[in-house]
């Protein structure tokens, strides 16, 4: 008998009851191998199995378990169980593509008998019948659910449910069992995780993060031949939100190891994969918000009047003209057309605070590490004022300046027995790397990052602090506190990672997100009518007539994708609050908010691959199909003005140079859509720009041309919120 050690908090009585039930079922399976179904010994064995399962049900509910290579895994426990009796049943289930069983009520011994007889059938007969689930259906079995990966699930229960339950519970063993059932099939895993991402969209953010952590860390720890290939597939899919969420949960050592493997690939794809892996852990420099601009009352009134000056008839005429322009894109859409970036040229992205630049070579990483160790040694041996110490810092400074011309940061990570430099692990045998790893770890440093803003004197101060004894540093509050107290700019020091709780979601934000998901799902199913009243009920609370800060703390979290429901909520929220700043009344605010909430609804009519190419950061200047689809879908909504229809069609026109031909309503939503889309992303290291960098660039007119008063109103608004205590620039 093999049983893994009991997990903390697990009920041993429940595990024992489940074990006895499965063992009784396995004993009946053996008996039916020797005797026909009507034999008294077979009947007795089936009744014994039924009683054992029923005993479990009375106390603990539905019995569910999964067959894995290590044994059976119950739905409440990560550990597996197997013995000589259970192993036969376990093998039969896995061989016949029935790795998961769930016993519903009321089941009968006869149904158990039909299940066990089906498991005795030759594999080819089961496959010819359409799978074991179809065999059971044909025999009238209604209360036994077969759960498996990569195909439809029998009896109305979907195949993804075991993964959803396991990830929600953080049960790594059950997540591993699910992944192992796929045998590393890339298409099956990609399809399952893509759907998983959609299904958890309505969960609280903290629960979503925990679920991805369970899957990501489980995949990282699997010891199977196909693990590295699946991880590489995930990184190659990193443009998809689910892949970024998953890979961001991998430990730095795994990312560095995979990066080293694919870097040997001479093809451009290999280099891109390596760079993507490193970007997951790349430090992001916090860029401050620009100073609040001067915005006179007259300017705000004039801008507000411009919005009010468009009567319903004029808006409707504009909407019909746009629809006529965009209709050809629906017929002529091609998913393989050339993609260009609508967001900003690469040099402008870097200027706005986004990651860029080629990866460091192995020699660069070794040299930087050795120069840092040399400087620390000189400071420790001779003191900070000795000429040898000054010379060592000068050499380090020069090498880092050269590297910082190519990369946004220079960083080291101490992870376990590894030292990771610029996202790649140094060789185990490099004595300088191991010495630096021990030095950083002893001082409670998990990551040391240096940015271009650091001065030569600041670097010298940092080396002096790092050369102090660990006890001395800890007694004075740690290295991070010492760096802050000394006023050193351009340096970030992080302690070992701990889970920082997200701010609690407000009811208003959660309900608006759920409404966005529901509307999107309804359109995907083919529904064509939009419930305007339902949407208005979700959007109205975003106007916040009380304390706005709890909602603002949700909006400034950047850990969503442009295709997520949070994007619709954020665009509506920011549009409403800029409208308030410009002096619009409650009715005009709400009309704009509802239209902003629905601006991307046309995406629901596109395939998943098309959606990825029509996001703001990849869409280019071409007419977009989702804009035309949104216009068609919303043409009968919102009465005379057709404002939601118009904004859905016009919100990308600014990228094609048509900003002067747009309604002010569309220009406002286009600005907010752009800001939220370009600063969001499941992983901080791959977001195109930071909030502070983007707002600074917009004020300077270096990015797509938006209404300057709208831009200044947005900057002034975020400045007020930051002054009230909301951290607007944190890379969360």
Average pLDDT per consecutive 10 residues, the chain (732 residues; last block may be shorter)? 58 91 94 89 93 88 83 85 89 77 76 89 81 80 60 44 85 82 87 91 87 90 84 84 87 61 48 58 78 84 86 85 78 42 38 47 82 93 91 93 87 78 72 88 88 92 92 84 89 74 80 92 84 89 85 91 95 96 91 95 91 86 86 76 89 74 91 94 82 92 85 94 89 62
The whole-number pLDDT of residue 77 equals 83
Residues in CB range of 107: below 8 A, 6 or more apart: 50, 53, 143, 144
The torsion angles phi and psi of 617, rounded to 5 degrees, stand at -75, -10
The whole-number pLDDT of residue 657 equals 66
Based on DSSP, count helices (H) and strands (E) in the chain, helices before strands.
34, 11
The whole-number pLDDT of residue 26 equals 94
**131: alpha, beta or left, given left = phi > 0 and alpha = psi -120 to 50?**
left
What residues does 493 pair with on adjacent strands?
448
How far apart are alpha carbons 79 and 352 in whole angstroms? 49
The whole-number pLDDT of residue 347 equals 37
How far apart are alpha carbons 258 and 142 in whole angstroms? 46
DSSP-assigned states of every residue in 544-609: -SS--HHHHHHHT---S-TTSHHHHHHHHHHHHHHHHHTT--HHHHHHHHHHHHTTTGGGGGS-HH
Candidates 703, 710, 729; CA nearest to 304 is: 710
Alpha-carbon separation of residue 517 from 190, 206, 320, 607 (angstroms)? 21, 18, 28, 16
The whole-number pLDDT of residue 325 equals 81
Rg of the chain's alpha carbons, rounded to an integer?
30
How far apart are alpha carbons 671 and 677 in whole angstroms? 10
Length of the chain: 732
The whole-number pLDDT of residue 2 equals 58
At 292, list the tokens: 């609040």
Q: Are 492 and 283 in contact (CB under 8 A)?
A: yes
What residues does 321 pair with on adjacent strands?
none
How far apart are alpha carbons 707 and 713 in whole angstroms? 10
The whole-number pLDDT of residue 355 equals 46
């Amino acid at each position: 008998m093999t049983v893994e050690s009991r997990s903390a908090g697990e009920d041993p009585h429940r595990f024992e009851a489940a074990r006895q039930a499965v063992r009784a079922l396995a004993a009946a399976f053996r008996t039916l191998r020797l005797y026909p179904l009507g034999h008294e010994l077979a009947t007795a064995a089936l009744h014994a199995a039924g009683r054992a399962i029923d005993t479990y049900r009375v106390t603990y509910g539905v019995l569910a378990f999964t067959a894995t290579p290590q044994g059976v895994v119950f739905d409440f426990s990560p550990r597996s169980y197997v013995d000589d009796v259970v192993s036969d049943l376990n093998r039969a289930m896995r061989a016949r593509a029935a790795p998961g069983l769930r016993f519903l009520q009321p089941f009968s011994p006869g149904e158990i008998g039909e299940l066990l007889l089906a498991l005795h059938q030759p594999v080819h007969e089961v496959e010819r019948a359409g799978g074991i689930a179809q065999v059971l259906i044909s025999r009238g079995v209604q209360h036994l659910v077969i759960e498996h990966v990569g195909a439809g699930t029998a009896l109305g229960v979907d195949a993804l449910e075991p993964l959803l339950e396991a990830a929600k519970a953080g049960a790594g063993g059950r997540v591993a069992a699910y992944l192992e059932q796929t045998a590393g099939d890339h298409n099956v895993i990609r399809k399952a995780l893509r759907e998983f991402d959609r299904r958890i969209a309505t969960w609280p953010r903290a629960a979503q993060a925990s679920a991805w952590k369970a899957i990501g860390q489980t995949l990282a720890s699997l010891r199977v031949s196909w693990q590295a290939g699946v991880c590489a597939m995930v990184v190659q899919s990193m443009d998809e939100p689910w892949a970024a969420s998953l890979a961001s949960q991998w430990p730095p050592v795994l990312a560095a190891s995979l990066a080293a493997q694919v870097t040997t690939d001479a093809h451009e794809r290999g280099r891109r994969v390596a760079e993507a892996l490193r970007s997951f852990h790349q430090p992001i420099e916090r860029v401050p918000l620009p100073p609040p601009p001067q915005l006179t009352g007259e300017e705000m009134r004039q801008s507000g009047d411009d919005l009010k000056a468009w009567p319903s008839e004029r808006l409707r005429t504009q909407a019909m003209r746009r629809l006529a322009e965009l209709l050809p894109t629906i017929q002529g859409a091609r998913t393989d057309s050339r993609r260009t970036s609508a967001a900003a040229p690469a040099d402008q992205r870097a200027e706005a605070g986004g990651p860029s630049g080629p990866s460091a070579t192995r020699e660069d990483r070794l040299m930087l590490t050795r120069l840092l160790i040399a400087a620390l040694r000189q400071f420790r041996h001779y003191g900070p004022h000795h000429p040898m110490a000054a010379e060592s810092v000068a050499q380090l400074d020069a090498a880092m300046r050269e590297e910082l011309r190519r990369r946004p940061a220079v960083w080291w990570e101490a992870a376990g027995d590894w030292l990771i430099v610029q996202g790649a692990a140094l060789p185990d045998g490099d004595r300088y790397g191991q010495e630096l790893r021990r030095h950083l770890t002893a001082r409670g440093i998990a990551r040391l990052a240096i940015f271009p803003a650091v001065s030569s004197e600041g670097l010298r101060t940092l080396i002096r602090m790092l050369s102090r004894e660990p006890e001395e540093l800890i007694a004075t509050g740690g290295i991070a506190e010492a760096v802050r107290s000394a006023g050193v700019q351009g340096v970030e020091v992080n302690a070992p990672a701990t889970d920082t709780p997200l701010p609690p979601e407000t009811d208003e934000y959660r309900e608006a997100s759920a409404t966005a998901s529901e509307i999107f799902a309804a359109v995907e199913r083919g529904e064509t009518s939009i419930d305007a009243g339902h949407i208005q009920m979700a959007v109205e609370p975003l106007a916040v007539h009380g304390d706005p800060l709890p909602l603002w703390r949700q909006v400034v979290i950047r850990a969503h994708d442009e295709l997520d429901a949070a994007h619709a909520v954020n665009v509506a929220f920011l549009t409403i609050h800029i409208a308030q700043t410009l002096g619009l009344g409650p009715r005009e605010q709400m009309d704009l908010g509802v239209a902003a909430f629905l601006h991307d609804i046309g995406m629901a009519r596109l395939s998943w691959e098309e959606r990825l190419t029509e996001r703001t950061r990849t869409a280019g200047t071409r007419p977009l199909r989702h804009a035309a689809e949104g216009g068609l879908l919303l043409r009968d909504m919102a009465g005379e003005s057709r404002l939601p229809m118009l904004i859905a069609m016009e919100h990308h026109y600014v990228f094609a140079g048509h900003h002067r031909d747009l309604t002010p309503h569309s220009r406002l939503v286009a600005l907010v859509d752009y800001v939220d889309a370009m600063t969001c992303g499941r992983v901080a290291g791959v977001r195109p720009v930071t909030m502070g960098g983007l707002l600074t660039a917009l004020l300077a007119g270096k990015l797509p041309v938006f209404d300057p008063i709208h831009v200044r109103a947005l900057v002034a608004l975020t400045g007020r919120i930051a002054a009230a205590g909301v951290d607007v620039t944190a890379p969360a």
